[in-house]
Amino acid sequence: MTQVQKDIFGQVLVALVTPMTPEGEVDWAATERHIDYVISNGADGIVVTGTTGETSTLTDPEKIKLVEVGKAVSAGRAKIITGGGSNETAHAIQLYRESEKAGADGVMIVTPYYNKPTQAGILTHFRLIADATDLPVLLYDIPGRTGVAIASDTFHRAAKHPNIVAVKDAKGDLAQASRLMLETGLMYFSGDDSYALPHLSIGATGLIGVTANIAPHAYRAMIDATNANDFHAALKVHNALEPLQRAIMNHVPGTVAAKYVLHGLGQIDSPRVRLPLVGPEDSEAAAIEAGIDQVISVPGLSFDNFRPNRNAAAGGALPKIAGTTR
């Protein structure tokens, strides 16, 4: 991997949570602080309005403003990538064009969800969006959420488009990832926190992580060790992160648990999520807390002052302004 490739998006990318008030409105001040926190602790890039950012319940103006705020706070220190696509191709094109005008450094296109298009439809969706922007494009393969995977042949055909340069892989198929990296030249970003080091070991560029909201310094350390060909140091960080990853990803949706933990650490003012997401119920909160108790020594992170608040996280919010589409 060349330095130019590393510099397109960076290597440590955070799938950013969108901090909200108890009423479910975007907390812009907390958002600015959180963006600064992850960048100051090693993030090369931030994916705003992705799955973890609750893109499904953000309005279009909120999505664009998140790009603008990200650009302002990063001040050139990190890349800002917009992940707020749509399963309507025309709407996705509109959002990405507006995001480009707002200063986005890249766009992440998720496979159209719910529609379950054929591979021809998926490829056309990708190509038309890539035609509509001059920004570098990541394709987001997450069949567990979209209902359909991107086929190998579709990756090969999409890779011929000059703007399509990378993949966020949340499928966990290491054999396919290895083959496609070799055959297409696409950069790969691990989209499953527990697969970050395995993906890196077969040549991935980096990661787009949920738990990187909480432990950006540790992921920076893992990447730096990998770049230095120090596998044992990278493995040590991977093992240290494993219980944190389980705590965040195994009991409730990742954004719910990440906000719960970030609030308990005092990093954000409220753990609120928007309906239909809700905060963890008592049994789920207990499982998250038990997982945090198993975290021993993560670089740059301490849970000594972790004070989770189940009451603050309870339920979900209905924002005053609804709607994400035209």
Count Cβ atoms within 10 A of the Cβ of residue 86 and give its class: 0-12 exposed, 13-18 middle, 19 or more buried.
buried
Count Cβ atoms within 10 A of the Cβ of residue 131 and give its class: 0-12 exposed, 13-18 middle, 19 or more buried.
exposed
Quick one: CA dihedral 264, 27, 18, 59, positive or negative? positive
Percent of the chain with pLDDT over 70: 97
Instruction: Give mean pLDDT, residues 37-43.
Output: 98
Residue 322 has pLDDT above 80, yes or no: no
- What is the C-alpha separation between 11 and 110, in angstroms, rounded? 19
pLDDT digits (tens, 9 = 90+) for 237-256: 999 999 999 999 999 999 99
Catalytically annotated residues: 140, 168
pLDDT number for residue 324 = 58
Joined tokens for residue 149: 């995977």
pLDDT number for residue 172 = 87
Q: Which amino acid is at 174?
A: L
pLDDT number for residue 321 = 74
> Do the bridges between strand 206-209 and strand 164-169 make them parallel or antiparallel, or are there none, so unpaired?
unpaired
pLDDT band at 144 (very low <50, low <70, confident <90, very high): confident
pLDDT digits (tens, 9 = 90+) for 78-103: 999 999 789 999 999 999 999 999 99
pLDDT number for residue 2 = 54
pLDDT digits (tens, 9 = 90+) for 105-139: 999 999 999 999 999 999 999 999 999 999 999 99
Residue 202 has pLDDT above 50, yes or no: yes
pLDDT band at 6 (very low <50, low <70, confident <90, very high): low
pLDDT band at 326 (very low <50, low <70, confident <90, very high): very low
Percent composition of the chain: helix, strand, coil (DSSP 3-state, to 5): 50, 10, 40
Task: Name 207's bridge partners.
Answer: 12, 190
pLDDT number for residue 3 = 54
111 DSSP assignment: P
Task: Decide: 318 and 276 in contact? Cβ < 8 Å.
Answer: no
